[in-house]
Amino acid sequence: MNRRTALLTFLAPALHGQSADIISRITGGQQPTIAIPDFRGAGEAQPWMQLFNLTLFDEVASAGLFRMAPKSFYPLQVPQAPQDWKAPIGGRSQGPWLTDWSNPTVKANYLAMGYCAIQNNQLVLFGWLYDVTQPDLTNAQMFGKVYFGPISEDGAKKIAREFAADILAKFGAKSLLGSKIYFVSNRTGSKEIWSMDYDGSNQRQITRFNSICTTPVLSPDNSKLAFTSFLQGNPGITVLNAESARRLTFVNPVSSIVASPNFAPDGKSMLFSTKIGGGFPNIFSANSDGSNLNRVTSARAVETEPKINPKNSSEVVFVSGRSGPVQIYRMNSSGSDVERLTDGTGTAANPSWHPNGQIISFSWTRGLEPGDFNIFMMDVAKREITQLTHGAGRNLNPVWGPDGLHLVFCSNRGGSLQIWTMLADGTRLRQLTTAGRNEMPVWTH
């Protein structure tokens, strides 16, 4: 496999409800095998190595890009630095060599290796990545780099995550490092907007309106946070600077409901649902400050949750009850060429575009009692559908991570509604929140 193969080439699976091989199809090829032996720490670095090793292994494994070689198969001699490699002489081993890792029983394609030390009052990682299928060290070494962090748990996690991010970058993958998830939580007594790091750490409250805030969305450059709030009594759109939480100008139309905002890829305009002149809430467009309001749909049904294709601003998916039960539809940005994407059974909602603009994820009650949702994905052009969750509680609001391989969603599978992440094949589930009721996540781009 070409190690620079783009991750986001999508070859849609005709699986119809089965999750096998989803990741390899999204990545455009088979998953290579990587070996990550435990790194050692010199002297005072040793107490931090267990956490470092757990974090590094988990970060790479969670990316969904590799098959992880089982550690029980590793050779007894594990190199820590380039000088540890010893080429065989006359077919006889002189020490650790590339083929120890590429041949049975490990059968790895790649090896991440290194060690940690304390230098100048910092925790220092010396890390290397090798393509062990190459015949010599010159071709095998993909990179070597030094990483620095404070002498603490946070420092051990920092250097492990930065090394993992560089490994993923060598394969065209976008690391989740530095990304944030915004979500709605009632843990303070009101539904407010909160944020957290991609792994659930650093949870902090963004709004303090003592009101109801729902359906957060980020502008494409992550600079603006828009959401529906009840600050004026009726639901309307509020826009904040995402960094400072300073309120920005947004002129809501005179209506009993203005909701479910979504930014265009250029961030200069948005779509939302509002009810003007009686009738039902429909889709409207406006500038990102609410000016230049224009009607997009005119259905005698509730139409909401418009989501603009990040790669094609003329394509929109949305939720509508125009044919009976609420379903997922697509249309042009002008409101023309409307077509239903889901088959009319059950209730379908919460569409979200994959970063490549070819796939959507959504929630659907197909095959379940009304009110119970599972998460599905669809290749919009081919109408090929894959089910990702299977009856474990109520699963809603799936949103793609910036790497295109993870989804964040809310689920009551553990008893209360909480935020979870998973790989796009439904594996590697991780619960991120526990306090209060948490829902409607959105991931920074």
Distance, in Å, from the CA atom of 204 to the CA atom of 392, rounded to the nearest integer, reads 28
Distance, in Å, from the CA atom of 166 to the CA atom of 162, rounded to the nearest integer, reads 6
**Band of the pLDDT at 367, cuts 50, 70, 90?**
confident
* Residue 25 neighbours by CB under 8 Å, 6+ apart: 10, 11, 12, 13
Kindly report, residue by residue over 181-223, the tens digit of the pLDDT. 999 999 999 999 999 999 999 999 999 999 999 999 999 999 9
- What backbone torsions phi and psi does residue 227 show, to the nearest 5 degrees? -160, 165
Comparison of pLDDT for 425 and 56, the residue scoring more: 56
**What pLDDT was estimated at residue 173?**
86
Average pLDDT over residues 253-263: 96
Q: How many residues does the chain have?
A: 445
β-bridge partners, 287: 269
**What pLDDT was estimated at residue 368?**
85
Average pLDDT over residues 257-275: 97
Q: Concatenated DSSP letters for 22-62? A: HHHHHHTSPPPEEE-PPPEE-GGGGGGHHHHHHHHHHHHHH
β-bridge partners, 308: 316
Kindly report, residue by residue over 153-178, the tens digit of the pLDDT. 999 999 999 999 999 999 988 889 99
Average pLDDT over residues 349-369: 94
Q: Kindly list the domain boundaries of the chain, sorted by start residue.
A: 33-169
**What pLDDT was estimated at residue 3?**
34
Q: What is the pTM of this model?
A: 0.90
**What pLDDT was estimated at residue 4?**
31
Q: Print the SS3 string covering 156-189.
A: HHHHHHHHHHHHHHCCCCCCCCCCEEEEEECCCC
33-169 folds as Rossmann fold (3.40.50)
Asked whether residue 19 carries a pLDDT value surpassing 80, the answer given is no
Average pLDDT over residues 380-407: 94
Asked whether residue 11 carries a pLDDT value surpassing 70, the answer given is no
Whether 401 contacts 392, CB under 8 Å: no
Question: In this predicted structure, which of 21-35, 51-65, 301-315 has the lowest mean pLDDT?
Answer: 21-35
Q: Which own/partner pairs from 412-421 qualify as long-range (CB within 8 Å, at least 24 positions apart)?
A: 419/181, 419/183, 419/200, 421/198
**What pLDDT was estimated at residue 156?**
98
Distance, in Å, from the CA atom of 201 to the CA atom of 243, rounded to the nearest integer, reads 17
Question: In this predicted structure, which of 12-16, 86-90, 252-256, 403-407 has the lowest mean pLDDT?
Answer: 12-16
Peptide bond into 427 cis (omega under 30): no
* Residue 120 neighbours by CB under 8 Å, 6+ apart: none
**Band of the pLDDT at 96, cuts 50, 70, 90?**
very high
Round the average pLDDT of the chain to a whole number and report it: 92
Average pLDDT over residues 254-260: 95
